[in-house]
Amino acid sequence: MTESRAAVLRDTAAAFSIETVTVDAPGPGEALVRVVGAGMCHTDQLGRAGVFGETFLPAVLGHEGSGVVEAVGPGVTAVEPGDHVVLTFEYCGKCPACISGAPANCALFELSNLTGLRPDGTGSAKDASGAPLTSRWFGQSSFAEYTLATERNMVKVDKDIPLALLGPLGCGIQTGAGAVLNSAKLSPGESIAVFGVGAVGLAAIMAAKASGASDIVAVDLNPARREAALELGATRAVDGADPNLAAEIRAGGPGVDITFDTTGVTAAMSAAVDVLNRPGRCILVGAGMDMFTVHPAGLVGKTVTYVYEGDAIPQLFIPRLIGLWKQGLFPFDKLITSYPLDQINQAEADTHKGTVIKPVLLMGPEA
């Protein structure tokens, strides 16, 4: 058992509280990780939205952790103590999707990631009174100094890379870049419109630029985000509130080859389908509760899909993104603003205000 400071959410309307919790020793297939940094992702807000029922809280959230392996449980061979790792989503490794190399489509994805518990219904941490916590959010719950993860959702990385930067590669950055590179398979010369250019959307824009897209359109309500998109590779930026939005995106042409929506907002998703050329591919990833309707004839020559985690195999894709970053082709570090763990509530507030793009909570010394 290991004592750990952690940010605990006890009420959907309350601030996070910094508490001392107790983390279990690693079991079979698990490893104890000393967390160095953990990104805050929009999906973490689902934890305080009340959508998972009354028993979800109290919870330790966080699913973009990076850190150092401290101890391993029985049967672990992929990592050893001292290894630097990025934590990512959990998957079973046994279902047809996992076996065929599509872990983001794991049959147990929701059970393993969105319940905040192991598939058997257990957590891995308790509070100071001994009460159990929801503590396996995306198989990690990394808003803490120490956490347990499985060897499936750990990606070993080189020790010469700034570890505190890498956590967002485990979810948000992976999702945006993967939607372009894995899901849409953007080819040089193709065009893309990205709806919502927060961290996920900006990752998609950087990936599109690295892939040689001919036209990269950033769509957002926030002028500062549109400016950031232009700096990171967008060729054009359009105000999402423009009454002539579709015409502005098409710019006199038949439409774009690929659209990518991160907002989950009905109007944006509908526009993302509308502005597609034929043939065209629309990728949706927004974690919202909105619905959208499209007439079947509106899908002639178009495909629409919803994607988890950028269709990535993390152990292959995260090193690929790091390689692009090393070449100066994927500057995801420009999105990051760091906060100490005890400023988590300020980081959350700044995110809601739109003054930061990707907050990363720092737990302590890097190595």
Instruction: Render 71-128 in DSSP notation, one character per residue.
Output: EE-TT--S--TT-EEEE-----S-SHHHHTT-GGG-TTHHHHHTSSS-TTS--SEE-T
In the prediction, which pLDDT does 365 show?
63
The whole model's pTM is what?
A: 0.96
30: tokens are 């698990």
Segment 318-328 shows an average pLDDT of 98
Q: Burial level of 188, CB count in 10 A (0-12/13-18/19+)?
A: exposed
- DSSP 8-class letter at 64: -
Q: Which of 299, 263, 295 is nearest to 281 (CA)?
A: 299
In the chain, pLDDT over 90 holds for what percent of residues?
95
In the prediction, which pLDDT does 367 show?
47
In the prediction, which pLDDT does 294 show?
94
* Residue reference for tokens 């953990």: 38
Per DSSP, the three-state class of 354 is: coil
Residues 97, 56: Cα–Cα separation, whole Å: 28
In the prediction, which pLDDT does 366 show?
54
pLDDT tens column, 79-90: 999 999 999 999
Gyration radius of the chain's alpha carbons: 20
Segment 108-114 shows an average pLDDT of 97
In the prediction, which pLDDT does 287 show?
85
Yes or no: say if 199 and 263 are a contact pair by the CB < 8 Å rule.
no
Task: Kindly report whether the peptide bond that precedes residue 279 is cis, defined as omega within 30 degrees of 0.
Answer: yes
CA–CA distances in Å: residue 69 to residues 98, 148, 163, 238, 304: 24, 10, 12, 44, 39
Other Cβ atoms within 10 Å of 110 Cβ, number: 10
Q: Which of 58, 62, 60 is nearest to 10 (CA)?
A: 58
Using the predicted structure, report yes or no on whether residue 77 has a pLDDT greater than 90.
yes
pLDDT tens column, 324-350: 999 999 999 999 999 999 999 999 999
Yes or no: say if 97 and 106 are a contact pair by the CB < 8 Å rule.
yes
Find the angle CA(130)-CA(134)-CA(138) to the nearest 5 degrees: 145
Yes or no: say if 154 and 26 are a contact pair by the CB < 8 Å rule.
no
138: tokens are 């995306």
pLDDT tens column, 279-308: 999 999 998 889 999 999 999 999 999 999
Using the predicted structure, report yes or no on whether residue 106 has a pLDDT greater than 60.
yes
pLDDT tens column, 188-223: 999 999 999 999 999 999 999 999 999 999 999 999
Work out whether strand 336-340 and strand 154-157 pair parallel, antiparallel, or are unpaired.
unpaired
Residues 123, 336: Cα–Cα separation, whole Å: 30
Residues 153, 65: Cα–Cα separation, whole Å: 11
Delineate the domains of the chain, giving CATH numbers in brackets: 2-170+331-362 (3.90.180.10), 174-310 (3.40.50.720)
Greater confidence, 366 or 123?
Answer: 123
DSSP 135-204: --GGGT--SBSEEEEEGGGEEEE-TTS-GGG-GGGGTHHHHHHHIIIIIS---TT-EEEEE--SHHHHHH
pLDDT tens column, 120-176: 999 999 999 999 999 999 999 999 999 999 999 999 999 999 999 999 999 999 999
Question: Which residues, including other chains, have CB under 8 Å from residue 356's CB and lie 6 or more apart?
Answer: 337, 347, 350
142: tokens are 């990394």
Task: Kindly report whether the peptide bond that precedes residue 58 is cis, defined as omega within 30 degrees of 0.
Answer: yes
In the chain, pLDDT over 70 holds for what percent of residues?
99
Residues 140, 137: Cα–Cα separation, whole Å: 6
Question: Which residues, including other chains, have CB under 8 Å from residue 348's CB and lie 6 or more apart?
Answer: 16, 40, 359
